[in-house]
Structure 1
Amino acid sequence: MYVMKCSKGEKFCDGTLIPYGNIELTPSAGILNYGQGVLEGLKAYRTEDMRILLFRPEENAQRIKIGAERMCMPSPSIEQFVNAINQTVLANKRWVPPVGQGSLYIRPLLMGTGSVLGLAPAHEYTLLIYTTPVKSYHSGPLKLVVKDELHRAIPGIGGTGGIKSITNYSPTYKAGISARAEGFSDVLYLDAATGKFIEEVSSCNIFVVKGNAISTPKAEGSILPGITRKSIIDIAIDLGYKVEERAVPVEELLMADEVFCTGTAVVVNPVLSVTYNKTNAIYRTGSGTVSQKLYETLVAIQTGHIEDTKGWTVQVN
């Protein structure tokens, strides 16, 4: 794993690779006491000719900088971040699965590791990057349920729903555990202000398909600007679909032809059904669907099967 440290008011210097293992933290570390930290997630892919590709790592670098600023933390430069990812993947290249059998998931963590007992930013920060080989996150289409008594993020632009703060995710546990106990895959959250518009699933963005039109909630305020989301929008436009980023009422979701989710973990995952109150909407899935076309195109770019005309992939070397 890769470790890079920085003191408050200074800039990150290049870090170093160390053996994967436990880390030591003071009990008064900012990350432990006040949740001062952000995370990222990206993948490395094996190609048929055995090269290893990263997918848009500079986007992760930019997003972690935005999140760090919101959480009052310094952050590495984009060049430092991408170089650190490259070194970490090279050190773990034997764990990158063969093409078609999975990918190497990469988890960067930027944390306030300095001692701070008062409610204030820490004085020392650590960027830690580790990896693990993964297969598909979900097996088959999703069955989602809307739980409007719990919310994922506060409305408006003042909260942290639009960044990958570590504090964003554990609040989804309660609703998620309840949903899975009822036979659902995950929870679809509505906006906390009105309860009328769809926002996100626990850890991925959502898209609604009606005819040739694809709609998705606008990535601002409480909506995370997903990198897979951003890429799928560009691919869909290239394929001739009309894409709108706007508020999507839950009633419109229930009348859709298709629904799918996007994210680093799920890639492009079709939704089989959404249950909202007493309504259970069923959607098209499988061969020939919009989500399948988008999935196949995205994965072909990520794994080098088709030419990357957008400059999205970076070869690890």
Structure 2
Amino acid sequence: MSGESMNWETLGFDYIKTDKRFLSTWRDGAWQPGELTEDNVLHISEGSTALHYGQQCFEGLKAYRCKDGSINLFRPDQNAARMQRSCSRLLMPHVPTEMFIEACKEVVRANERFIPPYGTGGALYLRPFVIGVGDNIGVRTAPEFIFSVFCLPVGAYFKGGLKPHNFKISSYDRAAPNGTGAAKVGGNYAASLMPGAEAKKQNFADAIYLDPQTHSKIEEVGSANFFAITANNEFITPQSPSVLPGITRLSLIELAGSRLGLKVIEGDVFVDRLGDFVEAGACGTAAVISPIGGIEYNDQLHVFHSLEDVGPVTVRLYNELTGIQTGDVEAPEGWIVKV
């Protein structure tokens, strides 16, 4: 499938093989010079720690086509920093920030024909990852590692505009109290597959996870961060050592305070006090913001702004952030890297 023959309007969030991906191997204490390759199949040892012990982490970020034809990467330095934190947690070597950003740029340039045009709502999604590989069987850090970045075009998350979705409080835990919740590692997502599937079977968009220690506070929405707006113009998002520090979350925190004049609070979001909030949403790279219409807890659906319409503050946050990403709104310093 070529970029020229794609129907940009029907793009979803599905794997599409693009032309090139970046690949580098860590051995003998250093990352080897990386290269672009057409091969989308990894050849790794059957004893790789990534396969047996979950020694791997990943990132997600997007490249956007601007009105003037240029290409924006949104805050790749933050993704690099988060991947370094994930690598530290799993005893893997850091990918230096400069190497990370340059690899992303190379992949975007090599697959430029797959970038959805400006105005379609689509973007080029980048998936950097680090995995432990090499001949091994003991529970220990791997002898070698692979760092790779591949990409695929993705469509507008909401066909026909922003729409509220309903979510269900899960009885499952996403991560342990002192576990790997703050690292972007596959094990957290494996743990979410069953509760997510159960929620979707009951016609909810996804599961919402409470804090693993007390099960009294909202932590995450599916694989996204939670935020809420109060009637007093406060922007509130959970603060917890087991919440993944999202780049979209970080950006909304900064924009809510500096551009919308909201009071920003990072703290506890008690599930029995949902009535304190007039709007709520989930934020992450894929959707930017998924407005939350209602949350089911103890068999009761708590409705926020509306089950049909998106709240005004959520709309303003969404427009501000997506405008920055596509170059239509002036970005805070350092947020945009031109490819």
TM-score if structure 1 supplies the norm length?
Answer: 0.95
Whether contact under 8 Å (2:168, 2:297) holds in the other structure is yes
Match of 1:246 in 2: 267
Match of 1:290 in 2: 313
Could you tell me which runs of 5 or more consecutive residues in structure 2 were left unpaired when the two chains were aligned.
1-20
Q: CA deviation at 1:28?
A: 0.7
**For 1:215 and 1:114, how far apart are their aligned partners in 2?**
44
Correspondent of 2:324 among 291, 301, 307: 301
Q: CA deviation at 1:30?
A: 1.0
Match of 1:127 in 2: 147
Q: Does 1:217 align with 2:238?
A: yes
Correspondent of 2:108 among 66, 76, 89: 89
User: 1:26-85 deviations in whole A, cap 9, x for unaligned?
Assistant: 111111111100000000001011111000000011111111011011022100110011
Q: CA deviation at 1:138?
A: 5.0
Give the secondary structure class of the aligned counterpart of 1:169. Answer: helix
**How much is the aligned-residue C-alpha RMSD, in angstroms?**
1.3
User: 1:113-136 deviations in whole A, cap 9, x for unaligned?
Assistant: 112101111100000110011113
Give the secondary structure class of the aligned counterpart of 2:175. Answer: coil
Match of 1:270 in 2: 291
**For 2:81 and 2:221, how far apart are their aligned partners in 1?**
23
Q: CA deviation at 1:287?
A: 5.8
User: 1:152-183 deviations in whole A, cap 9, x for unaligned?
Assistant: 0111xx31000101111011111111111111
Match of 1:13 in 2: 32
**For 1:292 and 1:250, how far apart are their aligned partners in 2?**
24
Letter in 2 for 1:270: P
Q: CA deviation at 1:142?
A: 1.7
Letter in 2 for 1:143: N
Give the secondary structure class of the aligned counterpart of 2:98. Answer: helix
Q: How does 1:165-180 map to 2 (within 5 A)?
A: 165-180=185-200
Letter in 2 for 1:124: E
**For 1:3 and 1:209, how far apart are their aligned partners in 2?**
42
Give the secondary structure class of the aligned counterpart of 2:333. Answer: coil
Equivalenced residue count is 311
Letter in 2 for 1:153: A
Could you tell me which runs of 5 or more consecutive residues in structure 1 were left unpaired when the two chains were aligned.
none
Match of 1:99 in 2: 118
Q: Label 1:20 to 1:93 Cα distance change in 2 as closer, same or farther (>3 A).
A: farther
Q: Does 1:234 align with 2:254?
A: yes
**For 1:192 and 1:129, how far apart are their aligned partners in 2?**
32
**For 2:188 and 2:135, how far apart are their aligned partners in 1?**
23
TM-score if structure 2 supplies the norm length?
Answer: 0.89
